[in-house]
């Protein structure tokens, strides 16, 4: 039976914290643990919590000096991961819809390929009413969520355009994944950094439905002066490039999502300035030694980066209509290239599926395997570990190769 915890970082939200906690208590699938980390509140937040919830089953309250939202969240996750499978995060001024935990847990139970799920949002004001249509934040959300209307929109590319999940309150994830990928020390964009990596590495999914009420009020973290936020997002993106690294980019699917994400950042509306970022990269490149540059080129091994065998954006020339200047219809060419890569990937997956079926069929009808099962000596060879058919086939073959009972068995 899976266990879920809700982590609530709290800071100076005495007006809203009771509603936040109550929305967790009212869930159709009530969590096993509700962990509130008060991050040095100087108002009456702690008194509200102590007065109303200390007797509630599963409720835990911890107080610390002000160390930042990311620290409070990470501390809560560490506590939750001791005995829980899933963790939902709820900021102390937001509210969960009643079926949020139930629906998110069911999604991740069914979709083992994902580790993090986000949903749509309801945007409310300080009094809990829908935010007015002419409010600047309402306009921003309309723009940020508009790419969702594009058929088969890649979630990594969407994240490059905007931090559309918008808040850590919109994160429901496997506890082990959160432990392995803690929130970084940003004031404004710790959620954006976390979600971008999850999207690029293929671990993030979107579950339709407005399951979080995101509150916009006078004490939100966002500042009217954009400079601190712009600087932090630039630093975040630079750290993202470093953290993704060559190892992850050696995987074709990750590389493709990273390319889509990076390309989309030129139209980013989440305070990322792509031109300034390129200037930063140019400065870093200018200060790099020649051997560092050469080392980077060496990493582009033929068996990993297959793109070196083809001319970049060849489809742009092949699909040129002879009339409109190139650069006006790049979307079509890029989609064509993506379809070509998907076709090659599907062919490879199909072959792996056939080979996997043959191996399993032979295992099923083998008298030697049947005898080994009876004697308890043929174990683990029917493993289903791995996400893709290729990974499953590799793991089955390795299990057979390690089996003393099946030593020398041809498959």
Q: Helix, strand, or coil here: 152? A: coil
335 has a pLDDT exceeding 60: no
**In the predicted structure, residue 95 carries a pLDDT above the cut 70:** yes
* Residue-level pLDDT at 363: 75
For the chain, what is the mean pLDDT?
A: 87
Q: How confident is the model at residue 269 (pLDDT cuts 50, 70, 90)?
A: very high
Q: What pLDDT sits at residue 332? A: 44
Is 4-239 in CATH node 3.90.550.10? yes
| Domain map (residue ranges) of the chain | 4-239, 354-402
Tokens matching residue 197: 């990596």
Closest CA to 183 of 9, 6, 5, 4: 9
What is the predicted pLDDT for the residue at 22? 98
Q: Is the pLDDT of residue 353 over 60?
A: yes
* Mean pLDDT across 85-94: 98
- What pLDDT does 333 receive? 46
For the purposes of burial, counting CB atoms within 10 Å of the CB of 211, is it exposed (0-12), middle (13-18) or buried (19 or more)? buried
Answer yes or no: are the C-beta atoms of 123 and 138 closer than 8 Å: yes
How high is the pLDDT of residue 300? 67
* pLDDT for position 276: 94
* pLDDT at 329 exceeding the cut of 90: no
pTM for this one?
0.78
pLDDT band at 250 (very low <50, low <70, confident <90, very high): confident
What H or E segment, with its residue span, contains residue 209? strand 204-215
For the record, the structure tokens of 219 come out as 């004490």
- Pairing of the two strands 4-10 and 86-89: parallel
Compute the average pLDDT of residues 274-299.
Answer: 85
Over residues 76-90, mean pLDDT: 98
Helix H or strand E segment including 315: helix 314-318
Higher pLDDT, 406 or 87: 87
Give alpha helix (H) positions in 54-111. Answer: 69-80, 100-110
- Please report the pLDDT score of residue 312 as a whole number: 73
Contact, 397 vs 363, CB < 8 A?
Answer: no
Mean pLDDT of 377-402: 75
The two beta strands, 116-124 and 204-215, are parallel
């Amino acid at each position: 039976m899976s266990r879920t915890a809700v982590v609530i970082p709290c800071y100076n939200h005495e007006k809203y914290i009771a509603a936040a906690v109550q929305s967790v208590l009212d869930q159709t699938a009530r969590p096993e643990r509700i962990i509130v980390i008060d991050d040095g509140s100087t108002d009456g937040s702690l008194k509200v919590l102590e007065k109303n919830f200390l007797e509630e089953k599963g409720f835990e309250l911890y107080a610390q000096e002000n160390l930042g939202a990311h620290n409070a969240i990470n501390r809560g996750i560490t506590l939750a991961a001791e005995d829980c499978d899933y963790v939902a995060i709820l900021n102390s001024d937001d509210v969960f819809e009643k079926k949020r935990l139930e629906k998110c847990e069911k999604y991740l139970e069914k979709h083992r390929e994902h580790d993090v799920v986000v949903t749509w949002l309801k945007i409310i004001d300080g009094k809990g009413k829908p935010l007015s249509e002419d409010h600047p934040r309402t306009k921003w959300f309309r723009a940020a969520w508009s790419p969702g209307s594009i058929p088969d929109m890649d979630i990594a590319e969407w994240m490059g355009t905007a931090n559309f999940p918008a808040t850590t309150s919109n994160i429901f994830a496997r506890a082990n994944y959160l432990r392995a990928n803690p929130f970084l020390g940003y004031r404004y964009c710790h959620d954006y950094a976390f979600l971008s990596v999850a999207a690029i590495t293929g671990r993030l999914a979107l579950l339709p439905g407005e399951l979080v009420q995101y509150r916009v009020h006078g004490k939100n973290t966002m500042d009217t002066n954009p400079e601190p936020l712009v600087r932090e997002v630039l630093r975040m993106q630079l750290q993202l490039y470093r953290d993704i690294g060559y190892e992850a980019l050696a995987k074709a699917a990750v590389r493709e999502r990273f390319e889509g994400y990076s390309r989309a950042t030129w139209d980013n509306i989440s305070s990322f300035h792509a031109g300034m970022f390129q200037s930063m990269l140019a400065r870093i490149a200018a200060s790099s030694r020649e051997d560092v540059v050469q080392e980077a080129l060496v990493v582009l091994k033929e068996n990993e980066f297959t793109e070196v065998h083809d001319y970049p954006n060849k489809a742009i020339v092949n699909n040129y209509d002879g009339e409109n200047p190139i650069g006006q219809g790049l979307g079509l060419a890029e989609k064509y290239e993506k379809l070509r890569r998907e076709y090659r990937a599907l062919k490879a997956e199909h072959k792996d599926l056939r080979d996997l079926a043959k191996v399993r069929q032979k295992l099923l009808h083998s008298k030697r395997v049947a005898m080994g099962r009876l004697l308890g000596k043929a174990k683990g060879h029917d493993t289903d570990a791995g996400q893709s058919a290729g990974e499953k086939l590799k793991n089955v073959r390795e299990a057979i190769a390690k089996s003393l009972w099946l030593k020398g068995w041809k498959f």
